[in-house]
Amino acid sequence: MKIKINDTVKIITGKDRGKTGKVLHVIAPKNPQAKARIVVEGLNLKYKHVRPKNEREKGQRIMFPYPLNISNAALVCSKCGQTAKVGYQKINNQNETAKKKIIKQRICKKCKAVI
Ligand SMILES: [Zn+2]
């Protein structure tokens, strides 16, 4: 998965195109062929109607961010601030006691920063 929780992403299609936000959730698809969806803070907002819990309360509409397809968003590199093509590099694990000797890191293909 190229996009993780707390990443900053830019929406590249739809009504919020060009906006950026923080990833709150990554929803893995049940079907492995399908694309994952993400929930981005403050983006792709939809209204949800909330029914009153008791007679004194009024029903209300609240805004909440609706999941969007992961392919509609691009990861924004925290270093160069541009939408990044994600690459991977393998490095030796510095932690001697770890089982994994080689770990994969995400890197921005533009500025080569680890993200
Ligand atoms: Zn970068």
pLDDT tens column, 6-43:
999 999 998 899 999 999 999 998 888 888 999 999 99
Is the separation of the CB atoms in 70 and 37 below 8 Å?
A: yes
**What pLDDT shows up at residue 5?**
95
Kindly give the distance from the C-alpha atom of residue 51 to the centroid of ligand 1, in angstroms, as a whole number. 45
Is the separation of the CB atoms in 41 and 19 below 8 Å?
A: no
Mean pLDDT of 96-109: 88
Kindly give the distance from the C-alpha atom of residue 66 to the centroid of ligand 1, in angstroms, as a whole number. 27
**What pLDDT shows up at residue 22?**
97
Q: Has residue 69 got a pLDDT over 80?
A: yes
Q: pLDDT tens digits, residue range 75-94?
A: 999 999 999 999 999 999 88
Is the separation of the CB atoms in 40 and 11 below 8 Å?
A: yes
User: Which tokens go with 93?
Assistant: 């694990």
Residue entry with tokens 């993400």: 38
Q: Has residue 1 got a pLDDT over 80?
A: no
Kindly give the distance from the C-alpha atom of residue 27 to the centroid of ligand 1, in angstroms, as a whole number. 25
Amino acid at 69: N
Kindly give the distance from the C-alpha atom of residue 101 to the centroid of ligand 1, in angstroms, as a whole number. 26
**What pLDDT shows up at residue 100?**
83
Rg of the chain, C-alpha, whole Å: 19
Kindly give the distance from the C-alpha atom of residue 44 to the centroid of ligand 1, in angstroms, as a whole number. 25
User: Which tokens go with 100?
Assistant: 């994994």
**What pLDDT shows up at residue 55?**
85
**What pLDDT shows up at residue 23?**
98
